[in-house]
Amino acid sequence: MTPPTTAVYTATKGAVDAVTHVLAKELGPKKIRVNSINPGMVETEGTHAAGVIGSDFQKQLESQTPLGGIAQPGDIAPIAVFLASQDSGWLTGETMLASGGLR
């Protein structure tokens, strides 16, 4: 679900996915892994400033998210730690979707 007037923002998220795949192929032979995180809605200063928090849009989004609610930064940080660790040593070119189940 994307609110109106966010075409450029949405396009940049798609671009990150594409660059992740290309860089993984280019850098893989050097044993450099490239992965990215595509978070859904996260409560941040930006979402507050944009008027999302407390809005009808937030309520609609939460009602359609299988895990309910929206993410906090602390929900996303462990994913970054995992991707930076050797526990994800066989992952490259992957985009981790962290959206509470909303697709």
Delineate the domains of the chain, giving CATH numbers in brackets: 6-98 (3.40.50.720)
Q: Where are the alpha helices (DSSP H) in 1-103?
A: 7-27, 45-49, 56-64, 73-84
- CA–CA gap between residue 97 and residue 26 (Å, rounded): 22
Which residue(s) pair with 97 in the sheet? 38
Q: Is 12 a catalytic residue?
A: no
Candidate list 6, 9, 50, 87, residue with the active-site label: 9
- CA–CA gap between residue 4 and residue 24 (Å, rounded): 32
List, run by run, the mean pLDDT of 10-residue segments along the chain (103 residues): 75 95 99 96 94 93 93 97 98 96 88
pTM above 0.75, yes or no: yes
